[in-house]
Structure 1
Amino acid sequence: MYSYEDRLRAVQLYIKLGKRIGLTIRQLGYPTKNALRNWYREFETSQDLRAGYARRPRYSEADKRRAVEHYLEHGRCIALTIKALGYSSRAMLSAWLQELHPQDGVRVVSRSPELPPEAKQSAVIALCTRHSSAQTVANEVGVCRGSLLKWKNQLLGRDVSASMKRKQDAPASSDQAALEQQLEALRQDVRRLQLEKDLLKKANELLKKELGIDQQDLTNREKTLLVDALKATYSVTDLLCELKLPRSSYFYHRARLQVAEKYADVRKAMTDIFERNYRCYGSRRIHASLADRSMTVSEKVVRRLMKEECLVAATSKRRRYGSYMGEISPAPDNLLNRDFSASAPNEKWLTDITEFHIPAGKVYLSPMIDCFDGMVVSWSIGTRPNAELVNTMLDSAIDKIATSSSRPVVHSDRGAHYRWPGWLSRITDAKMIRSMSRKGCSPDNAACEGFFGRLKIEMFFSRDWLHTTIDEFIACLDTYIRWYNEARIKVSLGARSPVEHRQSLGIAV
């Protein structure tokens, strides 16, 4: 508590320093920011500060007199007075007695009347063989219940139960009493072992822990979950004791668990985005999709929530690199030289053929990829990797640039499909430029191979095609490619799909 002079000095210095709280506190060493603001508001209102702060007494004079009168009229027992009125304490009641009745003296200690040893022994026997409560026996003897239990501890010891009543009032022999004690000890051991077993089973069920895990390796939050799961069977005290979990920690984590989930809406939206997009979106695409829904959350939180919700995107497996060394005729130069960047659409096109082997048969895909944004310009799907497959795809791609002056470089591998007369004549008529990878070097066409990898990871490998027909699979593949062009966002395009990216640039699709 600061004096009037200290508070006035602080306010005056605060005004002198231009109402700079931090500088004022550093020079004086006191008070807190809120206290200084309150003092200044009080000074600004009344141009002065109060001389002091008077605290309202907790108990009124009437409360004091009532407590003292009850003490004097009911046997001068402090404990009984406190229990009856529900307020005051021994020290406070003694002070009130000294203040209001100094002539009567103060009896701070409340003692039961002294009884001879024979009377105490009779009282203890009545306590141990009683048919009613201990308070009833204490009232009959004329002492308080605490004194009666204290006599029992002095005569029989603390380990002896306060009730020795037996069925049909039949006295028990010493052997029978020993057997009963041993039986009770065995029951406690069985209950403790059963509790330990149930804790291990529940940890395996709820927390996915191994059955032999050490309970002390669990976090307090995990222990709280176990206590809540088993408190219908065991008492909370036994569970806390077995898990060595402090009661305060249990109630703290229990309150935390009952608080509404902060990211409940985000979790639901993430699951919806993940399921709608072939279960192939990672944390960056999920984060960008959430931003489109006006849900602001950091990418680290997205990764953590995806891990908790088990939203794992399909990934590729490491494979040993292999190459084909065959060569059937002269091939054009590698004009791209692994430069797959393009400043405008229809500058560089990539093509290749990939195979899908399902139980119903084999399906082949021949796409044309634009290096500008990865859009699939055209594609053809068939059951045989022949000239018709690649020529149909090329005709569709040429039709899309027929009205423009674009003459892209068409890059492929050294497969025979791209050396047949039909392919060569179409390329020549459209005035396109051919480019081929080096022999047996698939990284020279890495952008197209990357498209195949993403397609198979996101659509093919993660699903079961056992009961799918060829026509159904072709329809699924066609649907995926359309989704890839129109809806699948790419972080490199500003979280837009290729079609959305071109529309944002004003390019006709």
Structure 2
Amino acid sequence: MYSYEDRIRAVKFYINCGYNAAYTVRKLGYPDVTNLKHWYREYSQYNDLHQGRKKVSKFSDKEKRDAVDYYFSHDCNALKTVKNLGYPSRPLLIQWVKELYPEEGERCCKSFKPHVRCSQEEKIQAVMESCRGNLKISQIAEIYGVTPSAVSTWRKELLSEGRILKMQQPSANDKSIDELMREKAELEAKVKRHERDVYKLQLERDVLEKAGDILKKEKGISLDKLTNREKVFLIDALRNQYKLNELLPILRLSKSSYCYQVQCIKREDKYKEIREKIKVLFVHNKERYGYRRIHCLLKREGIIVSEKVVRRIMNEEQLLVKTTKKRKYNSYKGELSPEVENVINRDFSAPQPNQKWLTDITEFHIPAGKIYLSPIIDCFDGMAVSWTIGTSPNAELANTMLVNAIDTLKDNERPLVHSDRGCHYRWPDWINLMDGAALTRSMSKKGCSPDNSACEGFFGRLKNEMFYNRNWNHISIESFVNELDKYMHWYNEDRIKMSLGGMSPLEYRRSLGIAT
């Protein structure tokens, strides 16, 4: 800030040296060229320079008057006036009100006290601490909950006019500033520890949730049971939220193992062709084959691969046979005829075809209605010798199946026919057909399904492979019957059995020269 005398001196020197601004500044050492020319223009206009500080308002008198009028017309609300008009600041508006309406301004414009009020003793204690020099003003302000400027104001007020503060000795019960600062540091460290614990718990929860969402693991799964490959997928899914060095300890995975698994994932799959072949075989067989049968099919095509590899690939590709347990159809109607001995006695093996037959009836319930299947299964190789399909589990369904099966027998073949205690196998027509063909009857004990477990197992495989977990909506009964009949033919002719060396029942009989 230059005084009036300095500015007059510079302007007159500037005029006397022929209006050479650079020469003037270099000789006098002040001001800069811009200020010098500004002073000269003011001197040329008024033949003098202003004394003191010149204040120029950027608001006109009309703008001031409009703002003050708006203030009074809206309940003397300074904040609302500033927001709606866009000018000026609230302190400047209050200043205009007091200038234009002194009496009204003193009544309407109230000054507010600060939110933090400190007693005179606290102010004196704060100033004393600042005089000791142990703490900075900002630290003292933080202790008393005020701004540093407030502490400076207290210093000016209490130390002005030579006022001397008597340094009081703290009592035994009073805590020193050092003790308070130490307690504050301990509390802050405790808060940080709690924050770290909460952060760790949040990290563990997110890891478990991602394990359920991405890896399809059940709730409560132990992270120790995850493979390193699964842990890598889990880490990659959470890398946008957490750091790698935070995730590795939670999953108990070393960084070297993580890098190794990442390289393995990026590496080209050496089972790529086999993987595609397994998918084709699984879909071609209508998702009915597990890894053992898929491995057998690959072996038949000359593809040499371990069963474990096939199982792992099918697990990775989610090629799983869908199964569901359903309540079985029960045909027991009570004791309709004399009891028949359980001749087969759970021995479901047979050295030759047409020595032991098993039969039962099973139910299929679809939206269009109920369908019933009555087959005869040969214990020799599991082939379905005969079957009938109908919409009612009546005597005709079982009798027709038996007649068709008897027609396939040779003259010297008299198989044992085993069934449960269903009413179909105790009616006179069934008994007459059995006696007429000289067939031996055998029945399970009442309510003992293991006595006919081989036939029950056939129904279980049939429903798992063909019926369960399929959408049968909008399928008519006729269409379902055709689909079921196709499966029975496929079961005999194409479906491989591991107990038959990876051959279907028909292929097995042809290999023995029994069938053509």
**TM-score normalised by L of structure 2:** 0.52
Which of 478, 489, 492 lines up with 2:485 in the alignment? Answer: 478
User: How many Å apart are 1:290 and its aligned residue?
Assistant: 1.8
Q: CA 1:203/1:454 → structure 2, altered by over 3 Å: closer, same or farther?
A: closer
Q: Specify the alignment match of 2:316 in structure 1.
A: 308
Which residue of structure 1 lines up, in the alignment, with residue 298 of structure 2? 290
1:369-448 to 2 correspondence within 5 Å?
369-401=377-409, 403-448=410-455
- CA-to-aligned-CA distance 1:462-482 (integer Å, 9 cap, x gap): 212122110111111111111
Aligned counterpart in structure 2 of residue 453 of structure 1, from 436, 445, 460: 460
Which position in structure 1 is the counterpart of 2:359? 351
Cα gap change, 1:215 to 1:474, in 2 (>3 Å): closer
Q: Secondary structure at the match of 2:495?
A: coil
Distance 1:347 1:266, change over 3 A: same
Over 3 Å counting, the alpha-carbon distance change for 1:505 and 1:228 in structure 2 is same
Cα 1:501–1:241 change in 2 (3 A) is: same
TM-score, normalisation: structure 1: 0.53
> Which amino acid is 1:479 matched to?
K
Aligned equivalents of 1:220 and 1:341: distance in 2?
Answer: 46
> Which amino acid in 2 is paired with 1:389?
L
Q: Could you say which residue in structure 1 is the equivalent of 2:510?
A: 503
Please name the residue that 1:91 is paired with. Answer: none
* Residues 142-162 of structure 1: per-residue CA shift (max 9 Å, x gap): xxxxxxxxxxxxxxxxxxxxx
CA-to-aligned-CA distance 1:401-434 (integer Å, 9 cap, x gap): 1x44211111222222223333233222322222
Give yes or no for contact 2:357–2:416 (8 Å, CA) kept in 1.
yes
SS, match of residue 377 in structure 1: strand
Alignment of 1:263-278 (within 5 A): 263-278=271-286
Partner of 2:369: 361
1:303 deviation in Å?
A: 2.1
Match of 1:494 in 2: 501
Q: Deviations over 1:301-334 (max 9, x none)?
A: 2222222111222345498999958212113322
User: Residue 387 and residue 222 in structure 1: after superposition, are their counterparts in 2 closer, same or farther (change >3 A)?
Assistant: closer
Q: Pairwise mapping of residues 12-91 of structure 1 onto structure 2 (< 5 A)?
A: none
Letter in 2 for 1:272: V
The one-letter code of the counterpart of 2:357 is: W
Separation in 2, partners of 1:355, 1:313: 21
Question: CA deviation digits over 1:348-402, x for unaligned, max 9?
Answer: 111111111111111111101101001000100001111211121112111111x
Partner SS state of residue 332, structure 1? coil
Judged with a 3 Å threshold, the aligned counterparts in structure 2 of structure 1 residues 211 and 303 are, in CA distance, closer, same or farther, namely closer
Distance 1:455 1:215 in 2: 38
The 2-side partners of 1:339 and 1:210 are apart by 41
- Does residue 357 of structure 2 align to residue 334 of structure 1? no
Deviation of the 1:347 alpha carbon: 0.5
Q: Gaps (5+ residues) in structure 2?
A: 1-198
Measured at CA, do residues 318 and 298 of structure 1 come closer, stay the same or move farther in structure 2, by a change above 3 Å?
farther
Gap change, CA 1:204 and 1:439, over 3 Å in 2: closer
1:192-211 Cα distance to aligned partner (Å, 9 max, x none): x9xx99x9799887666899
Matches of 2:323 and 2:417 in 1, distance apart?
Answer: 29
1:503 to 1:257, Cα distance in 2 relative to 1, 3 A: same
- Residue identity in the other structure for 1:267: R
Deviations 1:85-119 (A, max 9, x none): xxxxxxxxxxxxxxxxxxxxxxxxxxxxxxxxxxx
Q: Which amino acid aligns with 1:405?
A: N
Count of residues in correspondence between the two structures: 314
Q: CA separation in 2, counterparts of 1:325 and 1:490?
A: 35
Q: CA deviation at 1:250?
A: 6.6
Q: How far 1:254 moved relative to its partner?
A: 4.2
Distance 1:358 1:497 in 2: 29
2:473 aligns with 466
Alignment of 1:195-234 (within 5 A): none
Residues 496 and 242 of structure 1, relative CA distance in 2, 3 Å threshold? same
User: 497-506 or 249-258, which moves further after superposition?
Assistant: 249-258
Partner of 1:280: 288
TM-fit CA distance, 1:440: 2.9
Query: Do 2:466 and 2:487's aligned partners in 1 also have CA atoms closer than 8 Å?
Result: yes
User: Within 1, Cα distance between the matches of 2:437 and 2:455?
Assistant: 22
**Unaligned runs of at least 5 residues, structure 1:** 1-192
CA–CA distance in structure 2, aligned partners of residues 217 and 354 of structure 1:
41
Q: Which residue of 2 aligns with 1:149?
A: none
Shift of 1:507: 0.8
Give the aligned partner of residue 36 of structure 1. Answer: none
Q: 1:462 to 1:220 in 2, by over 3 A?
A: closer
Once residues 311 and 353 of structure 1 are traced to their aligned partners in structure 2, the CA distance between those partners, rounded to angstroms, is 30
Structure 1: how far apart are the matches of 2:315 and 2:269? 16
**Partner Cα distance (1:306, 1:345) in 2:** 35
Q: Aligned partner of 1:436: which letter?
A: M
Q: Which amino acid aligns with 1:486?
A: E
Q: Which residue type is aligned with residue 408 of structure 1?
A: P
User: 3-state SS of the aligned residue for 1:335?
Assistant: coil
SS in 1 for 2:293: helix
C-alpha distance in 1 between matches for 2:213 and 2:340: 64
* CA pair 383-257 structure 1, distance change in 2 beyond 3 A: same
Q: Cα RMSD between the aligned structures?
A: 4.1
Percent pairwise identity: 58
State how far apart, in whole Å, the 1-side matches of 2:270 and 2:221 are.
Answer: 31
Residue deviations 1:489-508 (CA, integer Å, cap 9, x gap) = 11111111111111111111
After superposition, the Cα gap between the structure-2 partners of 1:303 and 1:318, relative to the gap in structure 1 and judged at 3 Å, is farther
Following superposition, the deviation at residue 293 of structure 1 comes to 2.1
2:267 is the alignment partner of 1:259: yes
